[in-house]
Amino acid sequence: MNKAYDILKEYFGYSSFRTGQEKMIQHVLNGHNCLAIMPTGGGKSLCYQVPGLLLEGTALIISPLISLMKDQVDALLSNGVSACYINSSLTVREQERCLEEMEAGVYKFVYVAPERFESMEFIDTIQNMPLSLIAFDEAHCISQWGHDFRPSYRSIVPNLKLLHHLPTTMALTATATDDVITDILDLLHISEEAVVNTGFSRDNLHFNLVKGVDKYDFLLETIGSRKTESGIIYAPTRKTTDQVYEFLRKKNFPVTKYHGGMSEKDRKNAQLAFIKDESPIMVATNAFGMGIDKSNVRYVIHYGMPMNIESYYQEAGRAGRDGEPSDCYLLVSAQDIQIQKFLIEQSIQSEEKKRQEYDKLQQMTHYCHTNRCLARFILDYFGDSEGPDNCGRCSNCLQTSEKEDMTKETQMILSCVKRMGERFGASLTAKVLKGSKNKKVLEFDFDSLSTYGLLSQYSEKEIMNLIQYLVADGYLLVQDPKFPTLKLSSAAYQVLKGETTVMVQLFKEKKRVETDFH
Ligand code: ADP
């Protein structure tokens, strides 16, 4: 390993490895296929760059991100390492030249897009040359359980088998649920012992849920005082991106925008202006950011709820890559879930895949309504049990107002769900508890239930909020996210029996149910 330290110092100017890097390098040097799960900014690149420099031959790095390839190659070149990339941004002539030079052994690192492996010419070329290793960057893209599955990534596997000498294979990702990890291990023949998991925790990020505010007011207030700092505002659609961008531009914020509806040239310019801090504020759809290594992003604001927690963590995680404290805000509003459902319905994918997307959306909704520590919620989602129960930094941990005992209200809601036959959603349940004369309520005779109108002193919205909180924290279950009907969980029965109290922070106005409920 001494040599690895020499390389670290000589080429990268660092004197120590970060957590996990050394283990990964050791695995490669021992010839073991391996997987690194490290947070964004954790230093995954060095895991293959150091052994790539130590071993004979050329390292092939497979990456789905064209913009990232160029950045990485530029960085290597400036450190005096020979590297190139081959992807669709090059002309056919340029690609051919790179291939020739690659075959002649000119490069220590070659970055390639997954599609390259569909070409037999490419397979033949690498067949004839010594390879030090093959690294799958953004390895979660290989799994159909991942939120960003790329079929071209998966189709590499059978083509790799054509190689007479398969070098050590590495996989690297910052986002992987258990299903995805299992898939990666299976596909790339990696043993469990060769998984280096440093956890997903990003201790410099402060997660905040923002509810019940005017979103434009929030933007003005939050970024008005930090105009020179760099930040990203993610909007759920191109249209909202344009609107938010215009709003901020008119208020003289140094802002730029990025979405798939813009020309390639405009997108490139916007990205450059952002990276060079000429326009330090970026308003964008989720098309922006994969592979952007901008270390000084101080905040990420989600103007609406993303589709799943993987995307949320990846996007929010673009803040604070330099390790400095940074803020992640998620502005929650009721229509977000409708937008995301619409996007899922509209997408061209199988029913099975849509179902998975709905399940993930459900988890995302839970995040927006939980009272638990937000950082903990995310880590639990990824199955990372390390670390404390409360981060002490997120908006839920910092919520200073007293929690209220909402056990009685909860019992009423649970009982109402039960009496409605566990066949209806939150909206109708809230109407029944409110005592609404809604057509559907009357049609099903729910006005004759003993729970009808029991929470009439609350607004329907407040009742909905409480129901959503109960879902988020597991008292109520939603079995089919597409038709979200409520069902009682075992925890619910403990509340009904009076064995558990339910403390909630959701209700702003102090209203208590005075009458006893049986
Ligand atoms: P990731 O791909 O995991 O998001 P990168 O490989 O881009 O992260 O690394 C993030 C930053 O951390 C880069 O600027 C990189 O130079 C720096 N870095 C990586 N390893 C080390 C190290 N051992 N010591 C200091 N800085 C490091």
> Would the CA dihedral through 497, 498, 499, 501 be positive or negative?
positive
pLDDT of residue 484: 80
**Tens digit of each residue's pLDDT (9 = 90 or more) over 66-89:** 777 888 899 899 999 999 999 888
User: Which atom of ligand 1 has the smallest separation from the CA of 14?
Assistant: 24
pLDDT of residue 32: 97
Q: Return the SS3 of 387.
A: coil
Which residues does 481 contact at the CB level (< 8 Å), separation at least 6? 355, 358, 359, 361, 362
Q: Using CA positions, which residue lies closest to atom 12 of ligand 1?
A: 43
What distance, in Å, lies between the first and last C-alpha atoms of the chain?
A: 69
User: Which atom of ligand 1 has the smallest separation from the CA of 295?
Assistant: 14
Q: Return the SS3 of 326.
A: strand
Both tokens of residue 240? Answer: 């909202």
Both tokens of residue 361? Answer: 């959306």
pLDDT of residue 261: 96
User: Which atom of ligand 1 has the smallest separation from the CA of 21?
Assistant: 23
User: Which atom of ligand 1 has the smallest separation from the CA of 16?
Assistant: 23
User: Which atom of ligand 1 has the smallest separation from the CA of 39?
Assistant: 3
CA 22 to centroid of ligand 1, rounded, Å:
13
User: CB-hemisphere CA count at 13 Å for 165?
Assistant: 12
CA 26 to centroid of ligand 1, rounded, Å:
18
pLDDT of residue 517: 39
* Closest C-alpha among 315, 303, 318, 305 to residue 363: 305
CA 3 to centroid of ligand 1, rounded, Å:
19
* Closest C-alpha among 284, 281, 321, 325 to residue 302: 284
Contact status, residue 471 vs residue 486, Cβ threshold 8 Å = yes
Q: Using CA positions, which residue lies closest to atom 2 of ligand 1?
A: 44
pLDDT of residue 507: 44
pLDDT of residue 386: 78
- Ranges in the chain, pLDDT < 70: 147, 290-291, 293, 334, 400-402, 481-482, 505-518
Mean residue pLDDT across the chain: 89
pLDDT of residue 134: 97
Both tokens of residue 146? Answer: 């991942």
Measured in degrees and rounded to the nearest 5, phi and psi for residue 196 equal -110, 105
Task: Among 8, 18, 297, name the best residue to mutate to test ligand 1's pocket (greatest count of ligand atoms within 8 A of Cβ).
Answer: 18
Task: Among 1, 11, 40, 46, name the best residue to mutate to test ligand 1's pocket (greatest count of ligand atoms within 8 A of Cβ).
Answer: 46
User: Which atom of ligand 1 has the smallest separation from the CA of 17?
Assistant: 23
Other CB atoms closer than 10 Å to residue 446's CB: what's the count?
A: 23
pLDDT of residue 404: 82
pLDDT of residue 481: 65
pLDDT of residue 500: 84
Q: Using CA positions, which residue lies closest to atom 19 of ligand 1?
A: 43
CA 45 to centroid of ligand 1, rounded, Å:
7
CA 284 to centroid of ligand 1, rounded, Å:
25
CA 121 to centroid of ligand 1, rounded, Å:
34
Q: For the chain, what's the residue count? A: 518
Task: Among 12, 47, 65, name the best residue to mutate to test ligand 1's pocket (greatest count of ligand atoms within 8 A of Cβ).
Answer: 12
**Taking CB atoms and a 6 Å cutoff, what residues make up the pocket around ligand 1?**
14, 17-18, 21, 38, 40-46, 293
pLDDT of residue 291: 63
User: CB-hemisphere CA count at 13 Å for 402?
Assistant: 5
Distance, CA of 170 to CA of 172 (rounded, Å): 7
CA 18 to centroid of ligand 1, rounded, Å:
8
| Global ipTM | 0.98
CA 21 to centroid of ligand 1, rounded, Å:
10
CA 295 to centroid of ligand 1, rounded, Å:
10
CA 258 to centroid of ligand 1, rounded, Å:
26
